[in-house]
Amino acid sequence: MVTSTTAAAPGKARALAVPDITAVNSALWLTLTVLAAALAYYFLGYDQGAVSVFGSDTHIHEFIHDSRHFLGFPCH
């Protein structure tokens, strides 16, 4: 017989932690997520392509180089 110490006792309801979701809170998280995704997309796909934020420095390009090829972005 398998027993679990974390199982709820029979007959007792367990409270669920429901996050506080408001329209402003959702819009803030959506905006931050889009900004982070756009930043990651730029560095993965376009830095050291046609343009670069850091000039002719290739440290970021070389750091994410394998990820760039794995995701199918053209490189060289």
Tell me which residues touch Zn ion (CB under 5 A): 75-76
Which of the 8 DSSP states describes residue 70? H
- Residue 38: phi, psi to the nearest 5? -65, -40
* Least distance CB 43 / Zn ion (angstroms): 14
* Least distance CB 53 / Zn ion (angstroms): 18
What residue is closest to Zn ion based on CB? 75
- Smaller CB distance to Zn ion: residue 30 or 71? 71
Which residue type occupies 15? A
- Smaller CB distance to Zn ion: residue 39 or 69? 69
Cβ count within 10 A of residue 26: 10
